[in-house]
Homo-oligomer: A and B are copies of this chain.
Amino acid sequence: MAVTRTPRSSWIEAGLRALADGGPEAVRIEQLAQSLGVTKGGFYWHFEDRRALLDELLGAWEHAMVDEAIERVERRGGDARAKLRRLFELAASREIRSLLRVDLAVRDWSRRDQRVAARLRRVDDRRMEYLRPLFREFCADEDEVEVRCMLVLCVFVGSPFIAVTHGSRSRRQVLERALERLL
């Protein structure tokens, strides 16, 4: 049981960084090795092949972006509106940002890989299943609940992809107002 010099987790962290920055095509084993200051020799000790790493990256992303995120919002309790506002805060937070960029990369990736698409469907469905009861707390009409959940998700997914300038307003201000409009 010697100490692991470059453990599995290091490769996954480096992989997530590459995935966030350049999409799955940018997850190059030799480049990850270089960024970790080693050669690829050790990579094949931990992983079967490149695909195995990509699978694990998806797993890590799903866990952090669904399980952990929901857990963090739920932990502090409060009513539905409070939770939704906290979710908004979380999405804008510095530390979640890099994972959010993984999220965007995965969405694009899913357009050309069936297995990734299936995974994304599961993730998005889980998010919706979390959102719906929250909106039901203050919104009676079920169609309206669905629309608001969808709008929240669209803002979450769409806004980082959008490059507009809002004149004197900041992006944050515009999105905050958009959220309040949905509550």
Q: B110 contacts A104, CB within 8 Å?
A: no
Determine whether the beta carbon of A157 is less than 8 Å from that of B161: yes
Query: Which of A125-183 touch B at CB < 8 Å?
Result: 125, 127-128, 143-144, 146-147, 150-151, 153-159, 161-167, 169, 174-175, 177-178, 181
Give a binary string over A10-39; 1 marks a CB under 8 Å from any B CB, 0 the rest: 000000000001110110000000000000
Return the contact of A157 from the options B117, B120, B150, B162 (Cβ within 8 A): B162
Chain B residues with CB under 8 A of A150: 159, 162, 164, 166, 174-175, 178
Closest to A22 in B: B112
- State the Cβ distance, A66 to closest chain B Cβ, in Å: 13
Q: Tell me, yes or no, whether A83 is within 8 Å of chain B by CB.
A: no
Docked-complex contact A163 and B112, CB < 8 angstroms: no
Residues of B within 8 A of A85 (CB): none
Most chain B beta-carbon contacts within 10 A, residue among A117, A120, A154, A155: A154
- B161 lies within 8 A of A107 (CB): yes
Task: Write the nearest CB–CB distance from A97 to chain B, whole angstroms.
Answer: 12
Q: Check: A121 CB closer than 8 A to any chain B CB.
A: yes
Q: Is A124 an interface residue (CB 8 A)?
A: yes
Q: How far is the CB of A158 from chain B (nearest CB, A)?
A: 3
Closest to A21 in B: B112
